[in-house]
Amino acid sequence: MQITDNIAALSAISHQGRLVLFRLLVKAGDDGLPAGELSRLANVNITTSSAQLSVLANAKLVTRDRVGRSIIYRANYKTISDLLSFLMADCCLGREEVLRPLQGITSCCAENTPKKETLK
């Protein structure tokens, strides 16, 4: 990712409403969520959520696909991973006091990730 892409991604999630939508999509996993369902879950009107989702899509943090009459939004895990790698590469320099708490987060995430067959 170019530095301008990272700036766009950070800017996109620096808004409370967009951050709520982004987190909902990350939690939704690979199946994503329809635009209407995202609006309902975020407790905002469809026009507002559509504008916020467009910002996230332009920053490449989410993708959108038309399925029939619905637009399905999904988190773009490649961009998210690239952004996190960018932040970690320069900020920590291997400093244990910064990295230690992250080990707990990554192990917690791995333990709480549902297995594919349980998502049916």
Closest residue by Cα to residue 25 from 50, 53, 46, 59: 53
| DSSP 3-state of 51 | helix
| DSSP 3-state of 19 | helix
pLDDT in tens, 55-100: 999 999 999 999 999 999 999 999 999 998 888 776 666 677 777 7
Predicted confidence band of residue 114 (pLDDT cuts 50, 70, 90): very low
| DSSP 3-state of 77 | helix
Higher per-residue pLDDT: 4 or 92: 4
Which phi-psi region, left, alpha or beta, contains residue 64 (left: φ > 0; alpha: ψ -120 to 50)? beta
Cα–Cα dist 17/80, whole Å:
18
Task: Kindly state the average pLDDT of the residues 47-58.
Answer: 97
Cβ–Cβ contacts within 10 Å for residue 56, how many? 25
Task: Kindly state the average pLDDT of the residues 31-53.
Answer: 97
Q: Per CATH, the architecture of 1-120 is what? A: Orthogonal Bundle (1.10)
Task: Enumerate the domain spans of the chain.
Answer: 1-120
pLDDT of 120 over the 80 cut: no
Task: Kindly state the average pLDDT of the residues 93-120.
Answer: 58
What are 58's two structure tokens? 């332009």
pLDDT value at residue 97: 76
Higher per-residue pLDDT: 43 or 88: 43
What are 105's two structure tokens? 């987060």
